[in-house]
Chains A and B, each alone.
Chain A
């Protein structure tokens, strides 16, 4: 039987989320104090030693982003906390924002100190109304705390950063960092090809660092107890814990914190999640949110680390583990996923703009019993083109569940093919 390891979630429920003193009594601000006693470059060094990687999906090394921004001379520099959390099956950021907001704020202040950021913007998913209201109030309390000399001014030797809280407006693509930057500038929220990277030319053309909420929440831990202590859990390449949001066909859905790589998918589902509703092994699981490739029951012994999940054919993504029951048909699973992601393309690049529509169309046709054998090949071809030729992570990843379903469950697709090509009417032929 495995158990959770609470590092990021240990204070949740133990203090009033607006009460800075309560947070401090539970060990809060130790990381910020330690950080301010060092030079910014040494703070970046500590985070590099800890091997902290982004938890927003891409897994980029945090310290590398920080040093790019720190090296920029232009001001103001921006730090954006990405709390848009639009990925299906992912609710961990909400837990941190509402349950231990001061830890997120402390992480942001340390990041701002290390990178030289002057303005911190927390961009909160529109549906997270409670979190937004809480953070509006928190922003004022943070600036009050920062007036305590030992918490900023005396130590940092420059003005405290300004904390702004912004509410997202229900658009999935606005969580992608380039679209997020456009959104905040009141431009059409579309992604863009890189370079230039945000570190060089981000919000309003200024140096910008964008981080996921969970990434930021790790920062105070690293500074408070040092990189060595931080590395005592997790794997060599991927230290620390992760928050796994467990949902779908599962007895005890929820957010579970585990050391990275210590647990298999089966242990997470059975020991913590209590197994599937009917007790049978699941048909399929998405281990890293709604855009991660499906794994079948044969992969349940995969360890929950980026390297292991990649080797199994999927990815760790956002840590959103979605379980599909044994009675599910793979085509209906991908139909559900395409129903969400298919409407979220920003339209900037052709493969994704057209691919989302075409893939949805083909799957609908198969489900309606109007599909032909060639549709299966078409679905694969459109998906592969989209992954290879799209500009941003959206087009590069939303076809992955479909492609994996085609590989793992070909019978589900084939059994829906009803119309042999030669019996199609000229009308049907034309509508293709």
Chain B
């Protein structure tokens, strides 16, 4: 992840509502991919925490799709 992407991600995450449910997750991941061009590793931790689902579950989901690009922090 380059510095612009990292900054864009911080901006993105801070603008998310405080309550995120499992229903919103696939949409949010898609939005991240479309806006940043990748899904930062940190997003998996952050989103899992906020939605109250396991990190493993989100990691499994994200890494299944050819069009999702997981980026190390």
Q: Which residues of A contact B (CB under 8 A)?
A: 126, 164, 166-167, 169-171, 174, 183-189, 204
Min distance, Cβ B39 to any Cβ of chain A, angstroms: 10
Residue of A nearest to B48 (CB): A186
Question: Could you pull out 29 A-B pairs where Cβ atoms are within 8 angstroms?
Answer: A166-B27, A166-B30, A167-B30, A167-B34, A169-B30, A169-B33, A169-B65, A169-B68, A170-B65, A170-B66, A171-B64, A171-B65, A171-B66, A183-B26, A183-B61, A185-B25, A186-B22, A186-B29, A186-B53, A186-B57, A186-B58, A186-B61, A187-B61, A188-B57, A188-B60, A188-B61, A189-B61, A189-B64, A204-B23
Main secondary structure of the interface of A (DSSP, over half): loop
Complex Cα distance A166/B26, Å?
9
Question: With an 8 A cutoff between CB atoms, is B67 at the interface?
Answer: yes
Q: Which residues of B contact A (CB under 8 A)?
A: 22-23, 25-27, 29-30, 33-34, 53, 57-58, 60-61, 64-68
Q: Contacts of A174 on B, CB cut-off 8 Å?
A: 65
Q: Please determine whether A169 and B67 come into contact, CB atoms closer than 8 angstroms.
A: yes
Complex Cα distance A169/B61, Å?
11
Min distance, Cβ B34 to any Cβ of chain A, angstroms: 8
Question: Given known contacts A126-B67, A171-B64, what 19 new A-B pairs fall within 8 Å (CB)?
Answer: A164-B27, A166-B26, A166-B27, A169-B30, A169-B67, A170-B65, A170-B66, A183-B26, A184-B26, A185-B22, A185-B23, A186-B26, A186-B29, A186-B57, A186-B58, A186-B61, A188-B57, A188-B61, A188-B64
Q: How many A-B pairs fall under 8 Å by CB?
A: 48
Complex Cα distance A166/B33, Å?
13
Complex Cα distance A429/B3, Å?
53
Q: Contacts of A164 on B, CB cut-off 8 Å?
A: 27
Complex Cα distance A241/B16, Å?
46
Complex Cα distance A171/B30, Å?
14
Residue of B nearest to A347 (CB): B64
Min distance, Cβ A165 to any Cβ of chain B, angstroms: 10
Residue of A nearest to B58 (CB): A186
Q: Contacts of A184 on B, CB cut-off 8 Å?
A: 26
Q: Please determine whether A186 and B68 come into contact, CB atoms closer than 8 angstroms.
A: no
Q: Contacts of A170 on B, CB cut-off 8 Å?
A: 65-67
Min distance, Cβ A285 to any Cβ of chain B, angstroms: 29
Q: Which of B23, B33, B57, B65 contacts A187 (CB 8 A)?
A: B57
Residue of B nearest to A186 (CB): B25
Q: Contacts of A171 on B, CB cut-off 8 Å?
A: 64-67
| Closest 7 A/B residue pairs (Cβ) | A186-B25, A169-B65, A170-B67, A188-B60, A169-B67, A170-B66, A186-B26
Complex Cα distance A189/B60, Å?
9
Complex Cα distance A174/B67, Å?
12
Residue of B nearest to A127 (CB): B67
Given A169-B30, A186-B58: A204 in contact with B22 (beta carbons within 8 A): yes
Q: Please determine whether B58 and A169 come into contact, CB atoms closer than 8 angstroms.
A: no
Complex Cα distance A188/B65, Å?
9
B22, B57, B65, B68 interface centre (most CB from chain A within 10 Å) = B65
Q: Contacts of B30 on A, CB cut-off 8 Å?
A: 166-167, 169
